[in-house]
Amino acid sequence: MQLQGKTIVVTGVSSGIGAEVVRIARFAGARVIGVDRNDPSLTLDGFVKADLSSVAAIDAAVAQLPERFDALCNIAGVPGTAPVKLVADINYLGLRHLTEQALPRIPRGGSIVNVASILGAEWPQRLAPHKALAAAQSFEAGAHWLRDHPVPQESCYQYFKEALIVWSATQSQQWFLDRGVRMNCVAPGPVFTPILGDFVSMLGQERVQADAHRMLRPGFADEIAPVIAWLCSDEARWISGANIPVDGGLASTYI
C-alpha cells in the first residue's frame, strides 16, 4: 500500500483502531493529522483537540485543518452505554457535519472512510427511517428529526451505525460523480480495544456467547486499520459506496 504524498485526517487517534490507522498510514508514507477529545500517545504530523459531539467544536477544528487533504477517516465513536443523544451526536450527526465541512478541502481522487460496525448489519430492516434521517440535511435538522422519532437506549448504537451505513451509501454516489471523492464504510466485528467491555454490557452475555461460537476470537486493532488505510490509497480508486466487513467472517455466519 502506497500513501506517499498524501495527507490524511483521522479522528479517534488517541486510542484503539484510530491509533493503529495513524501508525500504519504514516509507515506507508502519509502525513497524518489527528483529531480527538483526548491527547494522543503516538507521533502525529499534527493534532487538533476537539469534542466531535458539538457543531461549534467541529467547525473550530475544521478551521485548524490543512486547506487541502486527501482523505478523512471518521473513526472516533462511543459505545451504546453512553446516553442516546451523545451516541447520535458523535457516531452520526457530528460525523456527518465534519465530513460535509471537510469535503470542499478534499480534491478529486480523495477518499472518506467511515467506521461502522457489524452491529449495523440490520440496516435493511429500518431502511425507511434511515433514509428519512439522511434526508434531514444538517446537524440541527437531524437532531430535530430524532426528537420526533426517539431511538431507544438499548439499540441506539446499532441504530446509528445502521444510519451511518445508509447515509454513506446514499450520499457517496453524488460525491463520486460530482467531485471524484469516494466514500466507504468499514464494519469491524468485535475488536480488542478499551470499549470492548462496553459492548459486552451493551449486548448482554447471551449474545456475546452466541457470537463467540461463530468466530475464532475478537480482532486486533491492527487487523482493522490496514483496510481503512488502504481505502485511502489510489489502489482503492474504484471502490465507493461499499461497506466492507472486517470481522474474521462473523457477518457471513448470519446468512
Ligand X SMILES: NC(=O)c1ccc[n+]([C@@H]2O[C@H](COP(=O)([O-])OP(=O)(O)OC[C@H]3O[C@@H](n4cnc5c(N)ncnc54)[C@H](O)[C@@H]3O)[C@@H](O)[C@H]2O)c1
Range 93-107 burial, b when 16+ CB lie within 10 A, else e: bbbbbbbbbbbebbe
Please tell me whether residue 190 binds ligand X under the rule CB under 6 A.
Answer: yes
Q: How many angstroms separate the CA atoms of 142 and 162, rounded? A: 15
Please tell me whether residue 36 binds ligand X under the rule CB under 6 A.
Answer: yes
For ligand X, which stretch binds (CB under 6 A), given 72-80, 130-138, 201-209, 235-243?
72-80
Going 126 to 128 to 134 to 137, the CA torsion angle's sign is negative
Range 216-248 burial, b when 16+ CB lie within 10 A, else e: eebbebebbbbbbbbbbbeebeeebbbbbbbbb
Residue pair 31/5 in contact by the 8 Å Cβ criterion: no
With CB under 6 A as the contact rule, the residue among 15, 111, 158, 171 that binds ligand X is 15
Please tell me whether residue 52 binds ligand X under the rule CB under 6 A.
Answer: yes
Helix (H) / strand (E) containing 133:
helix 127-135
Please tell me whether residue 163 binds ligand X under the rule CB under 6 A.
Answer: no
Q: How many residues bind ligand X (CB under 6 A)?
A: 27
157 is a catalytic site residue: yes
Please tell me whether residue 110 binds ligand X under the rule CB under 6 A.
Answer: no
Q: How many angstroms separate the CA atoms of 251 and 246, rounded? A: 9
Residue pair 71/228 in contact by the 8 Å Cβ criterion: no
For ligand X, which stretch binds (CB under 6 A), given 101-109, 126-134, 184-192, 228-236?
184-192
With CB under 6 A as the contact rule, the residue among 195, 225, 228, 246 that binds ligand X is 195
Choice between 115 and 146, CB closer to ligand X: 115
Task: Give, as one character, the DSSP assignment of residue 164.
Answer: H
Please tell me whether residue 75 binds ligand X under the rule CB under 6 A.
Answer: yes
Choice between 40 and 128, CB closer to ligand X: 40
With CB under 6 A as the contact rule, the residue among 5, 152, 194, 255 that binds ligand X is 194
For the packed helices 55-64 and 94-102, what is the interaxial angle rounded to 10 degrees? Answer: 30
Please tell me whether residue 158 binds ligand X under the rule CB under 6 A.
Answer: no
What backbone phi and psi angles, to 5 degrees, belong to 95? -60, -45
Please tell me whether residue 248 binds ligand X under the rule CB under 6 A.
Answer: no
With CB under 6 A as the contact rule, the residue among 37, 85, 105, 214 that binds ligand X is 37
* Interacting residues toward ligand X by CB under 6 A: 12, 14-18, 36-38, 51-53, 75-78, 90, 115, 117, 188, 190-191, 193-196, 199
Catalytic residues: 157
